[in-house]
Amino acid sequence: MLMTLIQKEVMHHILSVRFVALLLMCLLLVPLTLSINYRRYSQNLVDYQESIKREQTEAKENPPNAQNPNIEVSKLFLKPTPLSVFANGLEDALPTYLGMTRNGVRQGSAGVSQASVAYVLGNLDFLFIVGTVFSLLALLFTFDAVAGEREAGTLRINLSNSLPRDVFLWSKLIGGYIVFVVPFLVSFLLGLLLITWQGFPLGEFKIALPVFYLTLISLLYIAVFFAIGVFISTYLDNAKTALIVAFTFWVFAVLIVPRGAFVVAKLVAPTRTQQAVYMEKTALRNNLSKDKDEKITEKMTEAFAGSEGMVMRTDDAAFQKRMADLRKPIEEQFRAAFQNQTDKIDRDYQREKDRQEHVGETLSRIAPTSSLTYIAINLTQTGKLKRDGYFQTGEQYYSQLDDSYFSEVSDDALAQIMQIANRMIDSSESETDKIPPPPTLKEASLSDTLRRSAVDVLLLGFFAIAFTTMAFLKFFRSDI
């Protein structure tokens, strides 16, 4: 009996205008969007490679001068990920590179800073199609599943026979879901074949497995909105009213809640800007440098009191050694004080950002669309995991530079003159050779990605089960 009703429901949807609209949406949107986004990724990859070549060429022609604490002596560039074809995530919002200066890590301009006005309209990618377009279509498929038959009077006729209510409702859910997901899967497969033909590395295991999981999560997300549509349909007697309620729910769940949660988070947990933090570090270095210079001058005055020709003897080895011995403890004290205070500034700022983001994420998870987004950007390496790994690698690279290169640079004017003189005498090693190359940005493992996404997967499963259960309970208790 169930199979017969499912077949009837499938034929009912296939012969409807809604199925034609769904089919056109799938065949036009999914393959075309994947193809366009793959071309965008290919161009970003070319830009990334050209930026690295240009930086290496400029470093050889014009060696960096670390005497200026604001000069970037090296850059860590952000490599685009091929999985951004499916979900752009934070890819364009992240800085294109992290510049290493003695004052700390300076962020390069983000991709969005050069974006056109079209950026304010949002990204058109696979995540947007599933999260926004297909969620609305799922509600349009189910809003009159029960309310429409009740309004037409066919529900009373069907249930007057020996037809269990649970079988009837399951046929509505399963039949409509099958009709919906088949065009979706076919169009997605066509899109994958198209971008694979263009050069997308789908054959690689680390690419194919996240794409497979992304497909499963998309099917679960569509099932959530099917359950929501049936739930609304069982509670209302009029199909028009059910349509209005379903559309209102979609607006709040898809458009308002995910964005409004972070607006509330900014009010609840405000933070400073990145530029304000950088300026605070710069002011701290200037203040500490002033105190250090005064101490060095005082020490030099005491040590060379009565000596003549002190400045003229800067090329003397004994003089240089004595000067270095005087400066070393003061500079080490300065570096330790600067590092401790900047670490405190960074920790405080990071706590502020983490708290604000945690509040926003927690509130946004009220809507299933947020859970889908977090899972998708984690699987495609365009979310928090990519961002945190990028900045952590930048901080590690800065620490490496600080230990091996920046620690040898002094703010003292006399010491700088001596260092320049030494470089002119000993030209065997260029300034560029002293700077270690930027490290490779490591991607999060799939197991770590799935672990981070477990909460959102469970939430989607909970939404699907909860709304389905409430729909059945209401339908069983309804007076037909």
pLDDT tens digits, 150-169: 888 888 887 777 778 888 89
Q: Please choose, from the candidates 471, 462, 247, 265, the residue with its C-alpha nearest in 3D space to the C-alpha of residue 360.
A: 265
pLDDT of 177 reads 94
Q: Does this model's pTM top 0.75?
A: yes
Helix (H) or strand (E) holding 430: none
d(CA 47, CA 99): 17
The larger pLDDT score, comparing residue 119 to residue 400, is at: 400
Most confident listed range (51-65, 84-98, 157-171)? 84-98
384: Cβ–Cβ under 8 A, 6 or more apart, which residues? 90, 377, 378, 452
The larger pLDDT score, comparing residue 336 to residue 134, is at: 134
Most confident listed range (237-241, 291-295, 367-371)? 367-371
Q: What is the mean pLDDT of residues 71-90?
A: 90
Record the tokens describing residue 144, joined without a space.
Answer: 């009159």
pLDDT tens digits, 286-341: 888 888 778 878 877 777 665 554 444 545 667 667 777 777 787 788 888 888 88
Q: How far is CA 289 from the centre of its chain?
A: 37
Query: What one-character DSSP code corresponds to residue 435?
Result: S
